[in-house]
């Protein structure tokens, strides 16, 4: 891939932070990226290994030519609409930094609602014998955050992708979360009973219009058949086999899908509790048949 310095060869040897940010921001704006200035700052910040506040305070500082080359290479990736998180290698979630790779879905702010609901549900539960499984864990952001916010809960991270589990394990280690991982297809083969199921499964239908960035993320983690509901419905069918009475099921989905999920889940012994933006909260009815 060709680098795209803004001026004739040689001039970039004396480029300062201000000039690079101005040029990078313009290039990103020209292709319609709304977060152009922020993206430019994050790319340069990561390249220089300095916080963004350092950039603001040292706008006249000359950049090492080798760093300029790296920064422009990363800028070219962003211009190809590669998500910024893949370029810099991390994404913040619930105030913590999670490593990501193209093998996992990038954590979204809307998924934080699931953690908020979990904290509400567990606020008065002081038992240290509860078990939570994060199904389709990807980067591990949900399950690891749950463990760090509620250390007494036993947390299992599961995914069908061994590459995703490698990323999740690395994040658990770097963040100091004592969890276990297991490779499995949704809940198929799950033996240990659980009290909480967190699931951010694929819910995008192939026919939906999506951003160019989304096309760089793993298709298995994004797209599902049956209007995006196929994987979610499979999980609901499996959940009663391992979810304890009065257990909780947290599902992320598009708000337009929520009513279908609630109706379907009622056929498998689940009672609707509440929704928060993208998250649906269901509870298994006591005595419901498995």
List the domain boundaries for the chain: 11-80, 104-284
Q: Is residue 247 a contact partner of residue 196, using CB atoms and an 8 Å limit?
A: yes
* Both tokens assigned to 102: 């193209």
Cα dist. 112→14, 77, 137, 204 in Å? 43, 28, 14, 19
Q: For every one of its 290 residues, what pLDDT tens digit does the chain have, with 9 covering 90 and above?
A: 444 554 434 455 689 999 999 999 999 999 999 999 999 999 999 999 999 999 999 999 999 999 999 999 999 999 999 999 999 999 999 999 999 999 999 999 999 999 999 999 998 876 668 999 999 999 999 999 999 999 999 999 999 999 999 999 999 999 999 999 999 999 998 888 999 999 999 999 888 888 888 889 988 888 899 999 999 999 999 999 999 988 999 999 999 999 999 999 999 999 999 999 999 999 998 666 65
The topology under which CATH files domain 11-80 is: Helicase, Ruva Protein; domain 3 (1.10.8)
In sequence order, which ranges of the chain are alpha helices (DSSP H)?
17-30, 36-48, 52-57, 65-79, 84-88, 112-121, 141-149, 162-175, 230-238, 258-266
Task: Give dist(CA 127, CA 43) in Å, integer.
Answer: 44
Task: Give dist(CA 213, CA 81) in Å, integer.
Answer: 5
Task: Give dist(CA 266, CA 125) in Å, integer.
Answer: 25
Cα dist. 223→66, 211, 270, 289 in Å? 40, 14, 25, 31
CATH class of 104-284: alpha beta
């Amino acid at each position: 891939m060709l680098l795209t310095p803004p001026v004739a060869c040689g001039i970039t040897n004396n480029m300062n932070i201000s000039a690079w940010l101005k040029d990078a921001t313009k290039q990103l704006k020209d292709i319609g990226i709304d977060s152009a200035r922020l993206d430019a700052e994050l790319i340069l910040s990561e390249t220089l290994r300095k916080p963004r506040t350092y950039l603001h305070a040292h706008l006249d500082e000359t950049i090492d030519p080798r760093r300029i080359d790296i920064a422009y290479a990363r800028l070219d990736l962003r211009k190809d609409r590669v998500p910024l998180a893949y370029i810099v290698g991390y994404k913040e979630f619930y105030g913590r930094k999670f490593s990501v790779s193209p093998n996992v879905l990038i954590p979204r702010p809307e998924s934080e609602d699931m953690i908020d609901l979990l904290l509400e549900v567990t606020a008065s539960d002081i038992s240290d014998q509860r078990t939570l499984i994060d199904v389709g864990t990807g980067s591990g952001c949900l399950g690891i955050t749950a463990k760090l916010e509620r250390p007494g809960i036993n947390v299992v991270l599961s995914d069908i992708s061994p590459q995703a589990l490698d990323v999740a394990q690395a994040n658990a280690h770097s963040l100091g979360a004592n969890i276990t991982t297991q490779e499995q297809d949704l809940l198929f083969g799950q033996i240990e009973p659980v009290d909480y199921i967190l699931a951010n499964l694929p819910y995008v239908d192939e026919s939906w219009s999506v951003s160019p960035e989304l096309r760089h993320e793993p298709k298995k983690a994004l797209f599902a058949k049956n209007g995006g509901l196929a994987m979610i419905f499979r999980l609901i069918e499996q959940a009663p086999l391992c979810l304890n009475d009065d257990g909780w099921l947290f599902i992320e989905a598009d708000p337009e899908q929520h009513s279908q999920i609630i109706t379907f889940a009622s056929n498998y012994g689940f009672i609707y509790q509440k929704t928060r933006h993208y998250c649906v909260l269901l509870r298994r009815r006591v005595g419901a048949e498995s």
